[in-house]
Structure formats: C-alpha cells, structure tokens
C-alpha cells in the first residue's frame, strides 16, 4: 500500500540501512547505449545562484528535452533513455539535470532514501534552470520528460515552470502539495502501465484522476494506459530488466515499449503547428474533416512514414508529402480493423501483426511499432 511522507514523496518499499554510492561506481555488466554515448557534463546555475551538474547529448541546435531521472538517480538507465531520445526523429538535444547532486542508489533501500530526501520544490527550480539553459544554447523549443519520480516532476513542470513547450511523463503523478495538474499551462502526454500498483502515484486510478485534472486545465493532453504492463516498463537494458525482477515487477511488453517510444517522438510535431497544417491539407486536398483525436494519430503516422520513406521495408518510394498523407489514410482505416481484433485469440493477433511488419500485395506498410503508434482510436 502506498503511503505518503512529509516530503510529499510516496514510500514504495520498507526502509533498510542506507549507504551512498558514487554515480560512477563500476558497472562492468552494463551494456546499453549510454556506455558509449558522447555526454557532455556541464554546470547550470539557478536564479538563486545554486549550481548543479547536468549531462547533455544531441545536436546543438535541435529542440531540447529535459530528461528527469527515476528514483535511482543519474544512472545507466536514465542515460540510456536520454541517448535514445536524442536520436528520435530528426534529433533532440537531451539534458539530464543531476537532482541528487552526484548520489545514486544501487538498491531499493538506497533509492528510497534518496527519493524521500529530495527537495521537490528545489528539483522544480533545477528543471526551470535546465529549460532556460536549453533555450539559451541553441534550442528554440524545450520540453520535459521523466520516468517514475521524474514523471511526477515533469507534470509538475507543466504547472510551475514557464516556457515549457510540452511535457511527456511516464508513470508518475505529483502530489497535490507540489502541483495541481488542473493548473497545467503546457501540453501533457502521460504513459502508465495497467498493472502498476503504486497506489495514488502511478496506478490506473491515479492516471484517470490525472486525465480529469488535465481536462480541467484546458491544455492539449493525452493519457495512455498500456495493458499488461506494470511500473517502469520503459526500462529495457539487461540491468534494468533484472532490477525490475528484483523489485517483483512483471516483464514488460516489448510492443508497448515501442508504442510509447513512437508516441513520444511525435511531441515535436504536435506542438509546432503541424496539426494545423494537417487539418488544412485534409480539408483542402482530400475534403476530409478530421477530429482532434484522428488528426493527432494522422500526424504521428504521416511523420513516421515521411521520416522512414527511404527505409528498405517500403515497397513503394515515398517522394511527395501528399502521397504520405494518402498512405497514412490507408493506415488509419486498416488500423481500426486491427484494433477490433484486440480481444481475439493470440493466433489471430499474431497474424494481423505480421501483416503490418512487411509489404504485402503491393500495399504500403511499415513496421509494427509505427502502425500501433497511438491508442487514440477505440475499436
């Protein structure tokens, strides 16, 4: 059962004796993108003259993303996330602020100790300074994403940090003492696992309550719940998977991870007037009136098609944006049929997924993760 402490931080597990571990402790078994990724360590100064370390990766003038750590600290997993985010689409500049000031927990007890001792309002100030740094250093736009503790802080930033262009949060909701999502000022996209049992923080009830709050705020928002998945389902390194098992969490579903990645990478499209352009194209050239939900999905599919137009999986060349729209319309129609099979036998599901993995009968297809890139359309 989840309970809350004075710091407004939820307590997940019984407290054990704690020791501080250097974030650079030897981890010879780690094999992830973060191992060889070219992170630059920088120092950022807050308005109160406090400084903190941060790690940056990505193209200098790319849109910025502040990547917020889980309760473990700035470890291999969060660096892996940042490295992957920096490579999404045309590229992002990812920045990880070190909220724990150089400390990392290597087991649950250590992580919980750090988590409970976090200065949450101070962490929001770190995020504020990180967003300002990105915009002062080549990024015209800056969003915030986070996982677990970082997810809660990401949502808080949509309320408390000016100039954030968009927020993507994974399995975490801030306490009402820290921030009220009903006061959000930036678009929010949130992702949760259906089996997450951290009550009040990231379970389905918390996710649905968040959605109601975001509706009240009036900002564009999406809340995605992934069937069959629990907490921290985005952690994909061997060490991250093993750590989930030691915490008693079930194995995550690879398709859900890919789905969440695809939805995440569209953040740059959602809030750069792309939806407005899409609506104009659909009405003037195709005489189609799209709902906001369908437009959002179409934007995701078109972006994926256009970005992957030279991929060898295509059986037809995509050399015009309008053709990409036509292909996306086909995908949209067929995807509704796919979703109707959601409750079919696994054999039927496997067969329909195979259809999306490669071109068949001269019909334009692309890989399964792109085709299932949103859960906005219900069967």
Split at pLDDT 50, 70, 90, the class of 250 is low
DSSP letters along 226-264, please?
A: ETT--TTTT--SHHHHHHHHHTTPPPPPHHHHHHHHHHH
Q: How far is 266 from 14, CA to CA, in rounded Å?
A: 38
Asked, for residue 188, whether it belongs to a domain, the answer is yes
Split at pLDDT 50, 70, 90, the class of 87 is confident
Query: Where is the domain boundary, 208, 235, 270?
Result: 270
Asked, for residue 325, whether it belongs to a domain, the answer is yes
Predicted confidence (pLDDT) at residue 37 exceeds the cutoff of 50:
yes
Asked if residue 345 and residue 229 are part of one domain, the reply reads no
Predicted confidence (pLDDT) at residue 20 exceeds the cutoff of 90:
no
Helix (H, G, I), strand (E, B) or coil at 199: coil
Using one digit for the tens of pLDDT, what is the confidence trace for 124-138?
Answer: 999 999 999 999 999
Helix (H, G, I), strand (E, B) or coil at 118: coil
Asked, for residue 367, whether it belongs to a domain, the answer is yes
Asked, for residue 85, whether it belongs to a domain, the answer is yes
Split at pLDDT 50, 70, 90, the class of 343 is very low
pLDDT at 43: 97
Query: Where is the domain boundary, 214, 239, 270?
Result: 270
Asked if residue 304 and residue 208 are part of one domain, the reply reads no
Give the CA distances from residue 283 to residues 291, 295, 296, 304, 325, in Å, rounded to whole numbers and listed in that order: 12, 11, 15, 21, 12
pLDDT at 57: 95
Asked, for residue 379, whether it belongs to a domain, the answer is no
Asked if residue 186 and residue 113 are part of one domain, the reply reads yes
CATH of the domain at 191: 3.40.50.1820
What proportions of the chain, in percent to the nearest 5, are helix, strand and coil?
40, 15, 45
Q: How far is 107 from 246, CA to CA, in rounded Å?
A: 9
Asked, for residue 62, whether it belongs to a domain, the answer is yes
Asked if residue 360 and residue 243 are part of one domain, the reply reads no
Helix (H, G, I), strand (E, B) or coil at 328: helix
Asked, for residue 343, whether it belongs to a domain, the answer is yes
Asked, for residue 218, whether it belongs to a domain, the answer is yes
pLDDT at 328: 58
Predicted confidence (pLDDT) at residue 302 exceeds the cutoff of 90:
no
Q: How many domains does the chain have?
A: 2
Asked if residue 201 and residue 242 are part of one domain, the reply reads yes
Inter-axis angle of helices 321-340 and 292-307, nearest 10: 120
Using one digit for the tens of pLDDT, what is the confidence trace for 144-163?
Answer: 999 999 999 999 999 999 99
Compute the CA torsion angle 81, 84, 89, 92 (nearest 10 deg): 70
In terms of residue numbers, what domain contains 311? 274-371
Most confident of 10-14, 35-39, 277-281: 35-39
pLDDT at 251: 62
Using one digit for the tens of pLDDT, what is the confidence trace for 38-55?
Answer: 899 999 999 999 999 999
Inter-axis angle of helices 120-136 and 149-160, nearest 10: 70
Using one digit for the tens of pLDDT, what is the confidence trace for 346-376?
Answer: 444 444 444 444 333 333 333 333 333 333 2
Using one digit for the tens of pLDDT, what is the confidence trace for 251-301?
Answer: 655 554 455 555 555 444 443 334 444 444 444 444 445 555 555 555 555
Range 209-235 average pLDDT: 87
Query: Where is the domain boundary, 254, 270, 286?
Result: 270
pLDDT at 284: 43
Residue with tokens 């710091």: 7
pLDDT at 355: 44
Using one digit for the tens of pLDDT, what is the confidence trace for 160-218?
Answer: 999 999 899 999 999 999 999 999 999 898 888 888 888 999 999 999 999 999 999 99
For the chain, the average pLDDT equals 70
Asked if residue 171 and residue 24 are part of one domain, the reply reads yes
Q: Please, is 307 exposed, middle or buried when counting C-beta atoms within 10 Å of its C-beta (0-12, 13-18, 19+)?
A: middle
Contacts from 241-247 at CB under 8 Å and sequence distance 24+? 246/108, 247/13, 247/108
- When comparing pLDDT for 207 and 315, which is higher? 207
Contact of 156 with 179, CB cutoff 8 Å:
yes
Q: H or E element: which one contains 268?
A: helix 267-270
Asked if residue 207 and residue 61 are part of one domain, the reply reads yes
Asked if residue 314 and residue 226 are part of one domain, the reply reads no
Split at pLDDT 50, 70, 90, the class of 230 is confident
């Amino acid at each position: 059962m989840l309970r809350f402490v004075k710091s407004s931080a939820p307590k997940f597990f019984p407290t054990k004796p704690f020791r501080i571990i250097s974030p650079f402790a030897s981890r010879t078994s780690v094999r992830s993108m973060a191992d060889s990724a070219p992170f630059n360590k920088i120092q950022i100064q807050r308005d109160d003259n406090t400084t903190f370390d941060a790690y940056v990766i990505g193209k200098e003038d790319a849109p910025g993303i502040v990547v917020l750590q889980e309760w473990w600290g700035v470890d291999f997993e969060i660096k892996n996330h940042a490295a992957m985010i920096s490579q999404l689409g045309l590229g992002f500049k990812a920045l990880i602020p070190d909220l724990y000031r150089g400390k990392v927990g290597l087991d649950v007890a250590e992580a919980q100790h750090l988590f409970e001792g976090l200065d949450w309002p101070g962490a929001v100030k770190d995020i504020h300074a990180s967003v300002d740094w990105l915009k002062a250093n080549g990024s015209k736009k800056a969003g915030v994403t986070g996982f677990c503790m970082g997810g809660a802080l990401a949502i808080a930033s949509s309320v408390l940090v000016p100039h954030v262009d968009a927020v993507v949060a994974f399995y975490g909701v801030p306490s009402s003492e820290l921030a009220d999502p009903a006061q959000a000022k930036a678009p929010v996209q949130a992702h949760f696992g259906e089996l997450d049992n951290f009550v009040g923080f990231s379970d389905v009830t918390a996710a649905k309550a968040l959605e109601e709050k975001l509706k009240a705020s009036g900002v564009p928002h999406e809340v995605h719940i992934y069937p069959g998945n629990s907490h921290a389902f985005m952690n994909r390194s061997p060490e991250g998977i093993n750590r989930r098992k030691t915490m008693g969490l079930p194995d995550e579903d690879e398709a859900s991870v890919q789905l969440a990645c695809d939805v995440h990478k569209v953040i740059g499209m959602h809030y750069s007037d792309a939806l407005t352009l899409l609506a104009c194209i659909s009405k003037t050239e195709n005489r189609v009136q799209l709902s906001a939900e369908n437009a959002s999905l179409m934007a995701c599919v078109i972006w994926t098609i256009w970005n992957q137009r030279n991929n060898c999986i295509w059986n037809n060349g995509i050399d015009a944006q309008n053709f990409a729209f036509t292909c996306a319309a086909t995908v949209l129609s067929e995807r509704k049929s796919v979703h109707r099979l959601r409750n079919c036998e696994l054999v039927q599901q496997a067969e329909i997924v195979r259809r999306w993995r490669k071109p068949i009968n001269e019909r334009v297809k692309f890989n399964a993760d792109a085709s299932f890139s949103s859960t906005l359309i219900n069967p």
